[in-house]
Amino acid sequence: MANLTANFAGIRSPNPFWLASAPPTDKAFNVARAFKAGWGGVVWKTLGEDPPIVNVSSRYGGVSYNGTRVAGFSNIELITDRPLQVNLDEIKQIKRDWPDRAVVVSLMVPCTEDSWQRILARVEDTACDGVELNFGCPHGMSERDMGSAVGQVPEYVEMVTRWCKQHTRMPVIVKLTPNVTDILAPAAAAKRGGADGVSLINTLQAITGVNLDLMAPEPVVDGLGSHGGYCGPAVKPIALRMVADIARAMPNLQVSGIGGISVWRDAAEFIALGAANVQVCTAAMHRGFKIVEDMIDGLANWMDDKSWPSIEAMRARAIRNYVHWSDLNLNYKTVARIDQDLCIKCGLCHIGCEDTSHQAIAALRVDGQRRYEVIDAECVGCNLCFLACPVDGCITMVRQNTEAAVLTWDHHPNNPLRKEAAA
C-alpha cells in the first residue's frame, strides 16, 4: 500500500489532502467534522486583529457550464468575522484533540511589524503547526492595503515574511496571489524573506456574471456588485502552470498546490508538477467533506498501480518534461485517425476543421451515409478534432516520421539568432 504521508514545510500530515483557508475552516465544528472524514490537515480561515470584520450578504457567485454546476466559484467574503480569541481557543482545542493532523493558521493584519508580532505571539500559544501569510485575497482586504495589495509587491512580500520569521518559531508559509504578471517574482521574494514554503494559487480577480434584470455584477448586494475572488475547477490550468513554474525555477522551495482540485487525479497532477501537498476548498463546499475518502483511495490505488511507494517518490516527476517552447521537437508530427466503427457521424470534427483550422477532414457520402476522413497532406496534428469529438477513442493522434531527428527552435535554420551566431 502506498504511503500517503505528506511533509510540507516541515509539517507532517497522514495524507496530502488539506482544506484551504476558507469558510469550511472557519470554526472548530467544521474542522472536527473534516478530520473525522479523513482530511490530513486544514488551514484555518484567515484571522485578523480585532475589531471583527463585517461581511456582506450575498457573498458567492458561480459559473455553470454545459450542465456542470459550479465549474467556477467566486466569493466576496472577507476574512473571519468571528472574534480573534474565540478562534484561538478553538484552534488550541482542535490541535489538542487531533494531534496527528496538520493545523495551520492563516493570518492577515496591517503591514506593520508590530501588528504581525502581536498576532504571531497569540497564535503560537495555540500549539498549531504553522502559519500561512495571506498575501492573496483580491477583494475587500486589498482595499485596506492587505491581501493581494501586499502579494503584488515583491518587496512587501519579502519584508513581511522576514518579520514573521524573526518573531515566531513556527513554519511560515506564504500564500501567493495569481493576480501578477510573473509568479516567480513574489515566490523569490518569499524565499529571500526566509519562507519555509509557499502556497498557491489564491483566487483570481473576476466577475462571474451580470444580472441583466438588475444590471449589476453577481453576486448582487442591494442592487450593486463587486469583483470577487474566482476559484474552482475553472482555475486549475492556471494553478498548475504557476505551481510548475516555481517548482522548475526554485526546486528547493516547498510548494502547496491550490486551485480547482476536485478528485484524486487533480491532486496527482499537482504533486507530479512539484507540490508537496494540496489544498481543497470549492469541491468540499460543493459536495461535502466526505469527498476526501475517494481522494485518498483513488490516489493510493493509482500510486500502487504505478509502483510509487510515497508522495515524495512521485513529487515533481513531471517537471523534467515541463520545458520552454523553444525546447520542443519541431520534427515531431502527428495526424488524426478516425475509427469509423466508433464514429457517430455528428460532423463536429469536420465543422471545426473546415471553418477554423486546416480543411483537413473531408465530408463524404458513402453508400448514402455520411463519412468523415482525414486528408493526411493537410493535417497538421493540431488536436482540434480529437478534442471536439464526443466519443472517447474515436479520434486518435498518430505519430508520423518516427525516424526523424530531434530539431528544436534553437537549432532551426529559420531562427535568426542562430544565423547571427553562425555569422
- pLDDT digits over 363-410, tens only? 999 999 999 999 999 999 999 999 999 999 999 999 998 889 999 999
Q: In Å, what is the CA distance from 223 to each residue of 173, 213, 216, 419?
A: 38, 10, 6, 61
Question: Do the bridges between strand 197-200 and strand 216-217 make them parallel or antiparallel, or are there none, so unpaired?
Answer: unpaired
C-alpha–C-alpha distance, residues 102 and 16, integer Å: 10
Report the DSSP pairing between strands 197-200 and 228-231: unpaired
317 three-class SS: coil
Residue 352 lies in a domain: yes
193 and 314 share a domain? yes
Verify that 384 and 289 share a domain, yes or no: no
This prediction's pTM? 0.94
pLDDT of residue 53: 85
| pLDDT band for position 140 (cuts 50, 70, 90) | low
Tell whether 214 is covered by a domain.
Answer: yes
Tell me: do 242 and 160 sit in the same domain. yes
Q: What is the pLDDT of residues 335-367, one digit of tens each?
A: 999 999 999 999 999 999 999 999 999 999 999
pLDDT-derived band of residue 12, with 50, 70 and 90 as boundaries?
A: very high
- Is residue 297 scored above 90 in pLDDT? yes
Same domain (yes/no): 94, 221: yes
Where a domain ends, among 304, 321, 338? 321
Kindly state whether residues 44 and 142 are assigned to the same domain: yes
Residue that terminates a domain, selected from 262, 295, 321: 321
The pLDDT score that the predictor gives to residue 354 is 97
How confident is the model over 152-189, as pLDDT tens digits? 999 999 999 999 999 999 999 999 999 999 999 999 99
Mean pLDDT (the chain) is 95
Q: Catalytic annotation on 137? A: yes
Q: What is the pLDDT of residues 40-50, one digit of tens each?
A: 999 999 999 97
CB neighbour burial string for 131-167, b if at least 16 within 10 angstroms, e if fewer: bbbbbbbbbbbbeeebbbbbbbbbebbbbbbbbbbeb
Share of residues in the chain with pLDDT > 90 (%): 89
Query: Looking at 321, 350, 367, which one is the last position of a domain?
Result: 321
* The pLDDT of residue 283: 96
Q: Which of 111, 128, 137, 343 is catalytic?
A: 137
Do 281 and 372 fall into the same domain? no
CATH code assigned at 191: 3.20.20.70
The per-residue pLDDT for range 237-280, each reduced to its tens digit, is 999 999 999 999 999 999 999 999 999 999 999 999 999 999 99
Helix (H, G, I), strand (E, B) or coil at 379: coil
